[in-house]
Amino acid sequence: MKNHFPTIQLSLSASYILSMTKFILPFLAAVILFSSCSEKFDVAAPYKDVTVVYGFLDMGDTAHYVRIQKAFLDENKSAVDMAKVSDSSFFSDIDVRIDRYLVTQPQMFVNTIPLTRVDLNAEGYPKQPGAFFTAPNYAYKFTNTLDPQYVYRLKITHKSTGNVDSVDAPAINNLRIGTYGGFYVELLDNSSANLSGLSFFSTIANRGFNIYATYAPTVGYKYNDEESPAQIAQTIIRFNWVDSDAVTGAKTFHYYDFDAGYTPLSSKGKTVDFTIKNQTMFSAMAVGMGKAPANTYRLMEPCDLTLYLSTSDYSKYQQAMLFQGTGLTASEISPIYTNVKGKDALGLFTSRAMRTGKIIISDMTIDSLRLNPILDQVKINGRNH
């Protein structure tokens, strides 16, 4: 599926770096200006190294990448010219590793995982073109399987100064375990609910349908004064359909991703309960699918339902972006949240989990989509059998 990080692919793990990653909000093209509430960087100050870190750990991935770069701040040189030189953005003297600690006893060290510097271009993830250099495109990689029993502490040691930057991320389980254990999504894991499908046929005011899930953290979870690493969720529904030409009989596949938004987990990070208004869904489909071409009718296929979980660090970052805003109308030139600790270090390093699966649209909903005037020009005619 399409990658939703529009400008920079800093650290998404291998199997999902080009997949549906809309959950982890785009980190901004201006990530090099990322700062915390308590620190502001003078963009006109003499040149100094500012470490910028970006990474998401995903248990479903076979390889994990962390992007570590320098912010180039120099009052005597053009930032446009510096952006074209890779030496301005990458460190040559850092040691990068992950130290693992027990999540039930956060001070108990387990072992160390060294990270290897790789060129993402050679790994199959080329950098998008633009004013910035495109090669080399370095990141730091490890391939160990993630385990929700551990906290993963990223440590960056600057050999020339001895300074150490660090940041912690707990792993979130992406597996269903037993009947309701692990990451359980009712519409995917309950056979009756899955067979019934998405049902949002009535557009009467305030009618809606629920997406319910639970998360069972590691027994004895004690990290960060929380009872679960999962603190925020997002749902994406991919509507799949076929455009069928009534004249030629040709069929063309299309899809539209509906972002249901974010919701905090309740019950101390253990329950997800989305409510999506039916009217919202109908209106979104009308816009996302658009007017049908001449002599064309639409046949719906099963949807892809994807549910993401992430941490309180991502939740704080996401809330900071909503509060501050981004772009030309933002209240500040730099975002206001970072979880990286160290001298002149900033960024976001955390984790996520994803469950995805197919689900049909209920028969009553298909009939309603065919007849509702909101979708009159969309021309949904039934299912693609």
Query: Tokens 């004064």, residue?
Result: 225
Bridge-based pairing of strands 48-58 and 345-359 is: parallel
pLDDT per residue of the chain (385 residues) written in tens, 0 to 9: 433 322 223 333 333 222 333 333 333 333 333 333 333 344 444 556 789 999 999 999 999 999 998 875 544 554 444 445 455 578 889 999 999 999 999 889 999 999 999 998 899 887 655 444 556 889 999 999 999 999 999 999 999 999 999 999 999 999 998 877 899 999 999 999 999 999 999 989 889 999 999 999 999 999 989 999 999 999 999 999 999 999 999 999 999 999 999 999 988 889 999 999 999 999 999 999 999 999 999 999 999 999 999 999 999 998 887 765 544 444 444 456 899 999 889 999 999 999 999 999 999 999 999 999 999 999 999 999 7
* Gap between the Cα atoms of 234 and 20, Å rounded: 12
What's residue 128's pLDDT?
Answer: 59
* Gap between the Cα atoms of 312 and 228, Å rounded: 10
Bridge-based pairing of strands 271-277 and 345-359 is: unpaired
* Gap between the Cα atoms of 357 and 345, Å rounded: 38
Q: In this structure, what are the phi and psi dihedrals at residue 116, rounded to the nearest 5 degrees? A: -110, 135
What's residue 337's pLDDT?
Answer: 84
Q: In this structure, what are the phi and psi dihedrals at residue 350, rounded to the nearest 5 degrees? A: -155, -160
Contacts of 255 (CB under 8 A, 6+ apart): 238, 239, 240, 241, 304
Contacts of 69 (CB under 8 A, 6+ apart): 32, 51, 52, 89, 90, 91
Q: Do 283 and 374 touch, CB atoms closer than 8 A?
A: yes
Q: Where are the beta strands (DSSP E) in the chain?
A: 48-58, 64-73, 94-102, 109-114, 116-119, 138-142, 150-158, 164-170, 176-177, 181-185, 208-215, 232-245, 251-264, 271-277, 296-300, 303-310, 345-359, 380-383
What's residue 24's pLDDT?
Answer: 34
**SS3 of the chain: helix, strand, coil, percent, to 5:** 20, 40, 45
What's residue 32's pLDDT?
Answer: 31
